[in-house]
Each structure stands twice: as structure tokens, then as C-alpha cells.
């Protein structure tokens, strides 16, 4: 079992009969219908979740407002309901307001905030239409941000207006905040006439509590190269730091979220730079908790694909959450809170709301509301003995990873890794609390096999982001499917050879596959303890076998810390015996 596990709760809810629609960058995205009790949840197994539709906002009086839009263009309405017990019970649905018939398609606005004077502000996308040349004619498309507010606790609402950002097209609204001075900020990105890095991030600002809006003077350009329509600094989010600066994160195609800072409440911005957060081409969400902690949820995954001569990733297999108690200087967690399954092929576009008690938050994604305790993100110790099966492991798309009875203790089970099919990946990944320094110990056993000529290498790596076990076709010399290897070899990497010998990765780089043998060899059919003690501040990791120091692994690529163990087999012929893992134990520092 995983020692830091919370009780699994799947709260029932009647099947909801309306589809929510939100418009996101470049295209109209129709969300899945909120599902009933029988759906396979995307929430991590340790977390409570329920099917959900629409947006959430915490009101000044402590209630939750859940709202959504419905109807066809020209006759759309906003509907809502209220809860005073954090969603345990809701008032009957009621119409909040009507969208003007002369507006575009006004989807559900997931960005909703309450200001310090008691006002409620709802934002969404007012999608007018594509250009004459069709869907990809963004230069002539029109898409705006709408804003609606209430100053009387939701009894009456203002007429929807557009937030001026100085241009004609934006693809999404992902955040809104109020600064200490009372200014309202809505970060967004507009489609520019640039040849590369086409989307540019800036803000729409209001200094009169939302009555009027104007564009910020400054903007943020990230020239990611290539000619992708979805390129540049996209779908920004922001938060006010304790020193008064505004911190903005932007979706890019570089493999990282980019960041910029404003000293004048969003008016002008520093030059964007790569942040510490690995990310696919997907947006995140920021939340300031009432106790001052910062929460970030983002797509902490990357798998390069060759699009428009730019190495960019649209992988959205997981959402991670991290918490900072020192205004973003250090972070804990990096825990998977949502991940794909056989029915849901992407989890993305998170939206966050603090719970009433202030010790956790709700994350809305993929038609679900996921409850995430802050203390769970701050845990430092994990033990895995497979008492809850393989729930904590990601094995989607793989064959050959399963549980079998423990060879010495029949009442227990162990994980087996083998390669029954040469052209189908065999691998698994395990997420644990992030840390710059930590220690991981796993007990493993090599299975004996009569057909020893079929035994192949078994790889292990430590890294700081999620990746599915496949190798992109554009990698020089790579076979289709990559024989089950991961597209990135990790920050620290070693392998166990067909004869049990341990080797460590010897060269730096993204697709390195050169190894230096050590003096140690695992004995077949015997349990061994393999320990990894990493320190990313020093750029190295000690490898121990049965508590004896064996070698020092050099860090292969930059990372501020570690939060994943990945293992896979690279056999190009079936490998039936494989390797057993009895347990994992992980202790992390900061």
C-alpha cells in the first residue's frame, strides 16, 4: 500500500444532461458530459472525486456558486446553483442571466472570482467566428473575453461586456485576479502577425471594479521558432506575490512553462524566461490559498513530437499539483492529481477553488471535481507494497507489467516486469513527492529463465516529469514504437543486464544510451536492495546495492528535483521471465 493514501471516495451524482462548452486556444472544444457513478474517474486513486459540470467560485459569504451556460448562439443563458457546505448539498438550478443575442457563442467561463468588496466576476469566451478561409484562418477570426458581475450576492447581474485587450482574437481565458490596490487583471494571449511565436501574452486591466477594461501597455513574446499556429506565449496565468510583483506563467512549445514578472501591477513585464516547470504545450492554474500558500496545477509531462519543425509536446496524460509556502521559491508535491485512462485521452485545463476550511482545494478538469488536501502534497515518506494493486502506477498502453503472488510469502503480491511482445511497450511509472534530495530503496529479484538467450536489459530512471513509454519516430535510428523505451532517459539512469550486471548511464543528453558497467551483479532468484540517493543541487546520485556503495550517477540533464521512478524493458524479442519488485520506500527532503 502507499502509506500516505487518503480514503478513496467516489461521490455519486445523478447523470447530468447538458454538455458544457468552453472555447480554448484556436478551436472550439466541447467538454465531455458529466458522468454518473459508473464512469472511470480521472482522479488519482488517493483522492476524492465526483462528476461535475460548470465552473466554481467561492463567494465572500463562504458559499460556493456553480454556474454554466447553455443554449445555442443567440439564445444562451447562464444557470447557477449555490452550496453552503462545500458542495454536499445544492440549491435548485436557477437562471442567472441571458447573454445578448448579438454576441458570439458564449461558453461556460471557468474563470470566476470574488473581489474584496463583495463583487462576483464571471469571465468566459465570446467566440464570434473564424475568418473567411475557415478554421485555420485565425488572422481574420474574432474571439473576445466577456465579463459579467454582480454587486448584490448574485441576485442581479450586469449586462455582459467585452474585456478590451487591443486585438480581435484570443483563444482562452485561464485566470483572473484582484491585486491589493483593487485592480482586476485578466491575463490572456492574442494571435499576432508574427512569423514565429504567433501568440503573445498580455493583460486586460480594470481600475474601476470591472466597469471598464483596457489593454496592458506591455506584453510577453516567446519566440519558440517554427511555424506552428499554436506557438509563442499562450494562455497565461498569474498571481500577486507578497512583495507586490505579479508572477505570470505561460504555456509554450519549449518543454517548459515560461515566466515573467511585473513591478507595476501588470502594466509592463520583464523578458520571459524558462521557468523550473517542465510542461507540454498546455496551460496551468495558480491559486493563492487563504493562509498565503501558492498552489500550481499543470501538465507535468513531455514527449517530443516533430510538428512544424519544432520539438513540441501536446502530451496531456497527467495533471500535477505542487504547493509553495515561501512565495514560489521552493515547491513540494509534484503529485499526480488526475491522469488519463482507457476512456479519457487527455486531462488538461485545470481550474482551482479553495475549500471552505482552507486546508485543501478543488480542481475542475475533464468533467470532474477533484478534492486535493494540501497536507498530502507536503508528505515526505512513501511506502509501496502493492496492497492496493497497481493503482499508483501508470502502465497504460503497456503489456507485461502485472502482479503475481509473492514467491516467498503467498499472501502478498509483487510486481513483475517482462516483455511478452516485442513490438508492444513494457514499462511503468511511479509518482512520489518531489524533492531536490531524497532516497529511494527498492527490493528486486531477477527471475531465472531457461531460455537465457532471450533475456534483455531492464532500465530504471529517476526524473521530474511524466512520459508514456514510447520513442518518437523522428529519433535517428529509432524503431517504430521504440521497443518500449521512454522518449527521455531521465535525470539519473541505470540498467540491469541480461547477466544481472548493473551499468550506469555514462553520457548526457535526451536520448543517451551509453552505459558504463559497475563491478556488481545481481544473483538470480535472490532478493536485492537497490538504493538511489539523489542530490540535484550537486548533480549526482549515489547507487547502492545491498547497502554497499556501488557508483555515483551523474545528472544527465537539468532538473531542480525528482518525483518519478520509471522502469521499462527494451527487449526486441519476447522476454518472459523478467524482474520482480517487492517494495519501494522513498524518503524526501526539500
Q: What is the pLDDT of residues 218-231, one digit of tens each?
A: 999 999 876 677 88
Same domain, 179 and 313: yes
Over residues 3-22, mean pLDDT = 30
pLDDT at 26 > cutoff 70: no
pLDDT: which is higher, 237 or 31: 237
Looking at 171-175, 386-390, 417-421, which range is the least confident one? 417-421
Over residues 98-124, mean pLDDT = 93
Looking at 75-79, 143-147, 304-308, 390-394, which range is the least confident one? 304-308
pLDDT of res. 45? 85
Looking at 44-53, 79-88, 504-513, which range is the least confident one? 504-513
Give CA–CA dist 201/165, Å, rounded.
10
pLDDT of res. 352? 98
Query: Would 1 be classed as within a structural domain?
Result: no
pLDDT at 16 > cutoff 50: no
pLDDT of res. 311? 62
Measured CA distances, 536 to 370, 464, 492, 589 (Å):
31, 11, 10, 12
pLDDT of res. 35? 39
Query: Would 12 be classed as within a structural domain?
Result: no
Domain C-terminal end among 377, 410, 435: 377
pLDDT of res. 28? 29
pLDDT of res. 510? 55
pLDDT of res. 260? 98
Give the pTM. 0.90
Percentage above 90 pLDDT, the chain:
67
Same domain, 371 and 398: no
Same domain, 423 and 451: yes
pLDDT of res. 481? 44
Query: Would 6 be classed as within a structural domain?
Result: no
pLDDT at 585 > cutoff 80: yes
Over residues 298-306, mean pLDDT = 79
Please check whether residue 203 is in contact with residue 216, taking contact to mean a CB–CB distance below 8 angstroms: yes
Query: Would 492 be classed as within a structural domain?
Result: yes
What would the pLDDT profile of 481-532 be if each residue is shown by its tens digit? 443 445 566 899 999 998 899 999 987 765 567 899 999 999 999 999 999 9
pLDDT of res. 40? 66
pLDDT: which is higher, 11 or 243: 243
Helix, strand, coil shares of the chain, percent, nearest 5, are 5, 45, 50
Question: Starting at the edge strand that comes first in sequence, how are the strands of the sheet with 184-191 ordered?
Answer: 177-178, 184-191, 199-206, 214-215
Same domain, 437 and 360: no
Give CA–CA dist 290/123, Å, rounded.
22
What would the pLDDT profile of 151-162 be if each residue is shown by its tens digit? 999 999 999 999
* Domain count along the chain: 2
Looking at 77-86, 373-382, 552-561, which range is the least confident one? 552-561
pLDDT of res. 309? 54
What residues have CB less than 8 Å from 35, skipping those under 6 apart? 15, 51, 367
pLDDT of res. 546? 97
pLDDT at 452 > cutoff 70: no
Query: Would 521 be classed as within a structural domain?
Result: yes
What would the pLDDT profile of 305-361 be if each residue is shown by its tens digit? 655 555 677 888 999 999 999 999 999 999 999 999 888 888 999 999 999 999 999
Same domain, 177 and 291: yes
pLDDT of res. 25? 29
Same domain, 272 and 214: yes
- CATH number for the domain spanning 199: value is 2.120.10.10
Give CA–CA dist 230/271, Å, rounded.
20
Percentage above 70 pLDDT, the chain:
86
Give CA–CA dist 331/588, Å, rounded.
13
pLDDT of res. 9? 32
Domain C-terminal end among 322, 346, 377: 377
pLDDT of res. 507? 77
pLDDT of res. 484? 42
Same domain, 335 and 419: no
Same domain, 319 and 207: yes
Q: How far is CA 378 from the centre of its chain?
A: 17
Q: Which long-range contacts (CB under 8 A, 24 or more apart) does 352-356 make?
A: 352/285, 352/286, 352/287, 352/295, 352/297, 353/56, 353/57, 353/58, 353/64, 353/287, 354/58, 354/287, 354/289, 354/290, 355/86, 356/58, 356/62, 356/85, 356/86
pLDDT of res. 184? 99
- CATH number for the domain spanning 431: value is 2.60.120.560
pLDDT of res. 470? 65
pLDDT of res. 574? 76
pLDDT at 138 > cutoff 80: no
pLDDT: which is higher, 129 or 379: 379
pLDDT of res. 196? 84
What would the pLDDT profile of 391-444 be if each residue is shown by its tens digit? 999 998 888 999 999 999 989 999 999 888 877 888 999 999 999 999 999 999
Q: How many CB atoms lie within 10 A of CB 315?
A: 24
Please check whether residue 492 is in contact with residue 538, taking contact to mean a CB–CB distance below 8 angstroms: no
pLDDT at 21 > cutoff 50: no
pLDDT: which is higher, 293 or 304: 293
Please check whether residue 238 is in contact with residue 266, taking contact to mean a CB–CB distance below 8 angstroms: yes
Query: Would 90 be classed as within a structural domain?
Result: yes
Domain C-terminal end among 377, 396, 416: 377
Same domain, 360 and 412: no
Domain around 416: 381-588
**Residue 113 banded pLDDT, cuts 50, 70, 90:** very high
Over residues 65-87, mean pLDDT = 95
Helices (H), 343-425: 374-377
What would the pLDDT profile of 469-491 be if each residue is shown by its tens digit? 765 454 455 554 443 445 566 89
Query: Would 249 be classed as within a structural domain?
Result: yes
Same domain, 185 and 333: yes
Same domain, 310 and 435: no
Over residues 102-131, mean pLDDT = 92
Query: Would 437 be classed as within a structural domain?
Result: yes
Q: Which three cell numbers stand for residue 202?
A: 498580455
Classify residue 423 as exposed, middle or buried by CB count within 10 Å of its CB (0-12, 13-18, 19+): exposed
Same domain, 560 and 463: yes
Amino acid at each position: 500500500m502507499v502509506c500516505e493514501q487518503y480514503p478513496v471516495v467516489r461521490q455519486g451524482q445523478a447523470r447530468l444532461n447538458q454538455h458544457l462548452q468552453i472555447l480554448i486556444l484556436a478551436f472550439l472544444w466541447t467538454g465531455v458530459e458529466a458522468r454518473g457513478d459508473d464512469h472511470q474517474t480521472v482522479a488519482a486513486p488517493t483522492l476524492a472525486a465526483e462528476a461535475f459540470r460548470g465552473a466554481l467560485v467561492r463567494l465572500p459569504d463562504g458559499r460556493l456558486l456553480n454556474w454554466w451556460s447553455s443554449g445555442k448562439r443567440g439564445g444562451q443563458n447562464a444557470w447557477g446553483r449555490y452550496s453552503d457546505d462545500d458542495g454536499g448539498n445544492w440549491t435548485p438550478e436557477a437562471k442567472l442571466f441571458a447573454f445578448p443575442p448579438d454576441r458570439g457563442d458564449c461558453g461556460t467561463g471557468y474563470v470566476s472570482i470574488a473581489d474584496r468588496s463583495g463583487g462576483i466576476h464571471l469571465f468566459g469566451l465570446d467566440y464570434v467566428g473564424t475568418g473567411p478561409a475557415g478554421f485555420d484562418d485565425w488572422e481574420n477570426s474574432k474571439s473576445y473575453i466577456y465579463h459579467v458581475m454582480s454587486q448584490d450576492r448574485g441576485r442581479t447581474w450586469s449586462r455582459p461586456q467585452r474585456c478590451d485587450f487591443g486585438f480581435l482574437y484570443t483563444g482562452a481565458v485561464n485566470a483572473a485576479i484582484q491585486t491589493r490596490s483593487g485592480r482586476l487583471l485578466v491575463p490572456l494571449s492574442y494571435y499576432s502577425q508574427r512569423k514565429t511565436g504567433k501568440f503573445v501574452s498580455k493583460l486586460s486591466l480594470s481600475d474601476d471594479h470591472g466597469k471598464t477594461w483596457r489593454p496592458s501597455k506591455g506584453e510577453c513574446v516567446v519566440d519558440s521558432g517554427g511555424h506552428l499556429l499554436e506557438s509563442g506565449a499562450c494562455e497565461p496565468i498569474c498571481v500577486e506575490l507578497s512583495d507586490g510583483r505579479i508572477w505570470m506563467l505561460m504555456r509554450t512549445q519549449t518543454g517548459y512553462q515560461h515566466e515573467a514578472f511585473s513591478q507595476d501591477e501588470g502594466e509592463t513585464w520583464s523578458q520571459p524566461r524558462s521557468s523550473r516547470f517542465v510542461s507540454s504545450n498546455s496551460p496551468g492554474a495558480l491559486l493563492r490559498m487563504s493562509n498565503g500558500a501558492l498552489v500550481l496545477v499543470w501538465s507535468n509531462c513531455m514527449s517530443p513530437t516533430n510538428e512544424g519543425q519544432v520539438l513540441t509536446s501536446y502530451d496531456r496524460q497527467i495533471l500535477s499539483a505542487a504547493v509553495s509556502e515561501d512565495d514560489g521559491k521552493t515547491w513540494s508535491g509534484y503529485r499526480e492529481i488526475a491522469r488519463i485512462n482507457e476512456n479519457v485521452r487527455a486531462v488538461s485545463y485545470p481550474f482551482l477553488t479553495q475549500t471552505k476550511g482552507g486546508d485543501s482545494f478543488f480542481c475542475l478538469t475533464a468533467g470532474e471535481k477533484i478534492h486535493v488536501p494540501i497536507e498530502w502534497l507536503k508528505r515526505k515518506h512513501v511506502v509501496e507494497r502493492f496492497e492496493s494493486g497497481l493503482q499508483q502506477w501508470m502502465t497504460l498502453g503497456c503489456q507485461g507489467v502485472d502482479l503475481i503472488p509473492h514467491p516467498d510469502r503467498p499472501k502478498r503480491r509483487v510486481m513483475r516486469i517482462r516483455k511478452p511482445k516485442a513490438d508492444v511497450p513494457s514499462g511503468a511509472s511511479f509518482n512520489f513527492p518531489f524533492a531536490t534530495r531524497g532516497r529511494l530503496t527498492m527490493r528486486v529479484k531477477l527471475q531465472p529463465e531457461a531460455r537465457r538467450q532471450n533475456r534483455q536489459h531492464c532500465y530504471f530512471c529517476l526524473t521530474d516529469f511524466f512520459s508514456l513509454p514510447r520513442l518518437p519516430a523522428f529519433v535517428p535510428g529509432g524503431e517504430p514504437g521504440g521497443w518500449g523505451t521512454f522518449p527521455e532517459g531521465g535525470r539519473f539512469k541505470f540498467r540491469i543486464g541480461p547477466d544481472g550486471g548493473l551499468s550506469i548511464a555514462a553520457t548526457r543528453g535526451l536520448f543517451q544510451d551509453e552505459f558504463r558497467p559497475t563491478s556488481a551483479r545481481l544473483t538470480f532468484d535472490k532478493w536485492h536492495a537497490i538504493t538511489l540517493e539523489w542530490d540535484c543541487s550537486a548533480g549526482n546520485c549515489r547507487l547502492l546495492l545491498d547497502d554497499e556503495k556501488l557508483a555515483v550517477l551523474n545528472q544527465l540533464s537539468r532538473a531542480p528535483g525528482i518525483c518519478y521512478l520509471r522502469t521499462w524493458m527494451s527487449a526486441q524479442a519476447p522476454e518472459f521471465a523478467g524482474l520482480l519488485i517487492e517494495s519501494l520506500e522513498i524518503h524526501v527532503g526539500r
